Structure 1
Amino acid sequence: MSDRQREFDVIVYGASGFAGALVAKHLATKSPQGTRIALAGRSAAKLERLGLDLPIVVADADDAEALTTMADRTRVVVTTVGPYAKFGKPLARACAETGTDYVDLTGEVLFARDSIDENHEVARRTGARIVHSCGFDSIPSDIGVHVLHELVQADGAGELTDTTLVVTSMRGGVSGGTIDSMRHQVDVMKKDRRLRRIGASPYSLSPDRKAEPDLGRQPDMLTLAPSEVDPSLRGHLAPFVMASYNTRVVRRSNALRGWAYGRGFRYREVLRVGSPVIARVTKAAMSALVIGFAVPPIRFVLDRVLPAPGTGPSESNRTNGHFTMDIFGVTTTGARYRARVKAQGDPGYAATAVMLGESALALALDRDRLPKSEGGVLTPATGIGDALVDRLRTAGLEITARKA
C-alpha cells in the first residue's frame, strides 16, 4: 500500500451478502478503537439494513471507475463478492493500480492464476499486497506450513520434504458461494483445454513453472494409509475437497520464498474418516459432483438441491462448527515435525469471517510487522505472515508447531 493518507483503513466490499455481513460484524466489534471501517456494495439500502452505523460506499462490481475511486479511499479492501472469476477481476485490478492492499476468500484456481498474470507486476510497482484466499481456503494450510517451516529453521533441522495436512476434525455447512464457484469453474474448463491443463497442474499458481523442481506426479484425490503420513496417525485418509486449491497456494508460497521450505518439498492434503468404505465413498462423491456439474440433466438436479449463492448455515450451526488440521512434516535430516491449526465456528463462515477480517486488520494496522515485500499477488504466508499468526491467536485460533 502506498504511504499517503487514506480516508479509511478497511472497506468491506459485499458487506450486505451472507459472508460479507459476518466479516463486517466481526470488524465492527473486534477492531481496535479508532479503526476506520466502511461498508461497500451496489445497494446503499441493503448496507444500511445491517445496522452497523458505519460509512457506506456504493460501487457496482462491473463499474471499473467506481471501484477505482473506492479503492483509492482506503488502505485495504476486503471482498466477499464471488464467484471471483465472474465478479472479482475489476476490483483486484483497481487495488493493484491504486496501491491498495486487498484480501478475499477465493478458492478458484483460474481466478487466482488470472490475477497473478494481470496484477502481480502492477502491484509490485505500486506496492499493493494482493492477497487471495484469506479464509478457510487457504489460511489453515498456508499459515500452518509457515509456522512449521519457521520451527524447522529455528531448530536447524534442514528443509521440509514430505508434508501432509490432515483434516482430523471438521463440522460445518456447505457454502452456496463455494458451490457457485465450482459451477463456474466447471463451465469454463469444459470449454477450454488450456484451462483444464491449468486447473490440473500442481504448480498452476507458481510464479515460474519452469523453475519448479521435478517431483513427479502430485495427485489431489488421495486415499492413504495413515502410516504413509506419520506413525502416530490413526483412522483412514480420504480426499479433501479443497486440496486441489490449497496445495497450489502453499506451493506458491514456497516458490515466492525462493523454495525456502525445500526444493524437495512435497505437499498434499487429506481428510481423516472412520472407515475405508467412507474413504472410497468420499472419493467417488467428489468425482461425481464435478462430473455432475458438467452433465446438463444432472446439473439441473444439483442446482435445485445444493445451497444457493448468498445462503448459509443458521447461527446455531455457525457457532457449533469447528475444524482441526494437523500438518505432519519430515525434514532432510529425518526429523519429524507437527503443526496444528484449530478453530471454533463453522469453517466456511464463522471461522472464515475471523480469518478474513484479521487478515485485513494485519495489513492495515501492522505494517511494520509484515514480511518484507515490494508488493504483488502474494499468499497469506508471504503477504501477511507472522502478523497474521499473532492476530489469529489473539482472536482464539490455536496455531502451534512442535517437534514430533
Structure 2
Amino acid sequence: MQICKNAVKTPVDQLTKEPEYHNVKWGIAGRSEKKLNILLKELSELKIRTSSIVVIKCDINNQTELRNATGRTKILINCTGPHSILGEAVIKSCIETRTHYVDISAEIPQIFNAFRNNHNAAEEGNVLIVPSCGLASIPSAAGLMFLQNQFKDIPDVVDCYFRFDIPRRSYAPIGQHCLVHSGTWESLVFVLQDLPKYLNLKKETFPEPLVYEPIELKRSFFHRHSGEVWFPYPGPDEDLIEMSQRYVSDKYEQKPIRFRSFCTVPKFYHFLIIPPMYMYYYLCRFEWFRKMLCKHPKVFTAGYMSRQGPSEVSRMNTKYTLTMTGKSWDSNVKNYEHDPKKSLTVKVSGTDPGYYTTAMCLIISAMTILRESDKMPKGGVLMPAAAFQNTNLVENLMKHKMEFEVVTK
C-alpha cells in the first residue's frame, strides 16, 4: 500500500504494532522529496521502523512517474485533495495498472464523475475503485450493514441522524480551537462550484427515483426529532448510499432501501451558519469569490476552519454519533403513517472524526480489499456500502475505537 500524506501517521502507528499487519509491505508516495523525508522522520519518532518503507517520488502530472507508482502496489490509498483536481488522473492510472484504489473524498460531484467516467473500465479490468472511505462515508455504510444484520431483513426506510459533539471551547473558535483544517474547506469550495453540474448529471444518469417515497414519510427542511431540530445532512452519505442501493438492486435484485440522513448543531445560534452557506453556493459561480474563500478560510467560516487545523486536545474531545432507525411495512400497506410492522434503532459512535476516524476507516477499507476481495465484487467504481456489504468491515472497525450498538428493537 502507499500512504501519500502524514494524515494517517496516527493509525499507521497503531496498525504497524499489531501482529496481523506485520506482513504488510507499504510505502509512501508524493511530489516533494523534502516532505516525504519529513514524514519518514515523524514515523521514526513514533518508533516505527522506516528502513522497509518504500519511498516513491511521484508527480501526478507526470504520467510516467504516476504509472510507476500505481504499478508497484496492489492497492493505493489516495490522501491528496481536493480530489476534483487530484483524483481523476490517479484513478485512471490505477485502472491501467490493475491497482485497487481507495480515497477520502467527500466531493460528491467528483465522485459521481469518477463513476460515470471509469466504472465500466474498472469493472472490465477487475479493479476496485472505492471512493469516500473516511468519515464520509464509512460510518454510515458500516452502520447500515450493522443495522441490516441486526434487522434480519431489508428495511424499507432508514433514517440516519448524524450528530457532532464538539468541546465547549470550540463553540466560539479562537486560536487552535477551530474544528477543521482549511484543506477540507477548499474541497467544499469545489463542491459548491460543481454542485449545479452534478445535479444535472445525476438527473441525466438516473432519470427515475430509486424508490417511491410516500408523502407521509417526507420531511420538511427543518423537523423535530427526539426534542431537537434537524435538517438534511450536507455530506455525500445519502447520495452514496443511494448509488450503492442502485448497484445491489441491479446486480443482486435486492430490494433497495430509502436512506435519508439528517444532522443538527450543538447550539441554536449555530443555525446562523446555514444562510451564509447558501449565499456561498451562489457566489461560488464566480472565480474571484472562490479564490477569496480559499485564501481566507478563517474569515469566511468565523474561525471554525483554519490553516493551522484543530489542536490534538480539540480533536480528541470531538465526538460523533450516528443514530440509525430502520423500518419496514407490510407490502400491501397504503398509509405509511401507521406503525411499521418492524423497527430497529442502532447507534454508531467514535472520537476525532476528522483525523483518527477518517484515517482508520481509510486503512481498514484498504486492508479489507486486500484480504477479503473474494467476498467483494470483482471490479468497478463502487461506493462503500456496496463494495463492503459482505465483508467483515464492521467487525474490523469495532476493533479500532468505532462502537456499534443496538438501541431499541
TM-score past 0.5 threshold: yes
Distance 1:26 1:351 in 2: 13
Among candidates 375, 380, 385, match of residue 384 of structure 2: 380
Quote the offset at 1:11 in angstroms.
1.0
Work out whether residues 26 and 357 of structure 1, in 8 Å CA contact, stay in contact via their aligned partners in 2: no
Distance 2:227 2:238 in 1: 23
Identical aligned pairs, as a percentage?
A: 21
Among candidates 244, 248, 253, match of residue 244 of structure 2: 253
2:324 is aligned with 1:327: yes
Quote the offset at 1:178 in angstroms.
1.8
Kindly tell me: are residues 384 and 26 of structure 1, through their superposed partners in 2, closer, same or farther at Cα, counting changes over 3 Å? Answer: farther
Q: Which is worse superposed, 350-359 or 28-37? A: 28-37
Distance 1:82 1:298 in 2: 16
Kindly tell me: are residues 56 and 132 of structure 1, through their superposed partners in 2, closer, same or farther at Cα, counting changes over 3 Å? Answer: same
> Which runs of 5 or more structure 1 residues have no equivalent in the other structure?
1-9, 227-232
Distance 1:28 1:310 in 2: 29
Partner of 1:80: 79
Work out whether residues 193 and 281 of structure 2, in 8 Å CA contact, stay in contact via their aligned partners in 1: no
Letter in 2 for 1:39: I
Letter in 2 for 1:355: C
Kindly tell me: are residues 103 and 381 of structure 1, through their superposed partners in 2, closer, same or farther at Cα, counting changes over 3 Å? Answer: same
Q: Deviations for 1:91-138, whole angstroms, at most 9, x for unmatched residues?
A: 111112222111101011111111112221111122111100000111
2:269 is aligned with 1:269: no
Secondary structure in structure 2 of the residue aligned to 1:258: helix
> Which runs of 5 or more structure 2 residues have no equivalent in the other structure?
44-49, 168-178, 299-303, 331-339
2:346 is aligned with 1:353: no
Partner of 2:347: 340
Kindly tell me: are residues 27 and 87 of structure 1, through their superposed partners in 2, closer, same or farther at Cα, counting changes over 3 Å? Answer: farther
Among candidates 196, 221, 241, match of residue 234 of structure 2: 241
Quote the offset at 1:24 in angstroms.
4.8
Distance 1:297 1:286 in 2: 13
Distance 1:298 1:195 in 2: 18
Q: Give 1 or 2 for the bigger CA radius of gyration.
A: 2
2:160 is aligned with 1:165: yes
Partner of 2:192: 186
Q: TM-score under structure 2 normalisation?
A: 0.79
Map of 1:141-220 to 2, 5 A cutoff?
Answer: 141-152=140-151, 154=152, 156=153, 159-171=154-166, 173-188=179-194, 194-198=197-201, 208-210=206-208, 212-215=210-213
Q: How many residues align?
A: 367
Secondary structure in structure 2 of the residue aligned to 1:160: coil
Work out whether residues 59 and 67 of structure 1, in 8 Å CA contact, stay in contact via their aligned partners in 2: yes
CA-atom RMSD in angstroms: 3.1
Letter in 1 for 2:295: D
Q: TM-score under structure 1 normalisation?
A: 0.80
2:24 is aligned with 1:35: yes
Quote the offset at 1:278 in angstroms.
4.4
Partner of 1:317: 314
Partner of 1:391: 396
Partner of 1:283: 274
Secondary structure in structure 1 of the residue aligned to 2:321: strand
Work out whether residues 2 and 28 of structure 2, in 8 Å CA contact, stay in contact via their aligned partners in 1: yes
Partner of 1:366: 372
Quote the offset at 1:316 in angstroms.
2.0
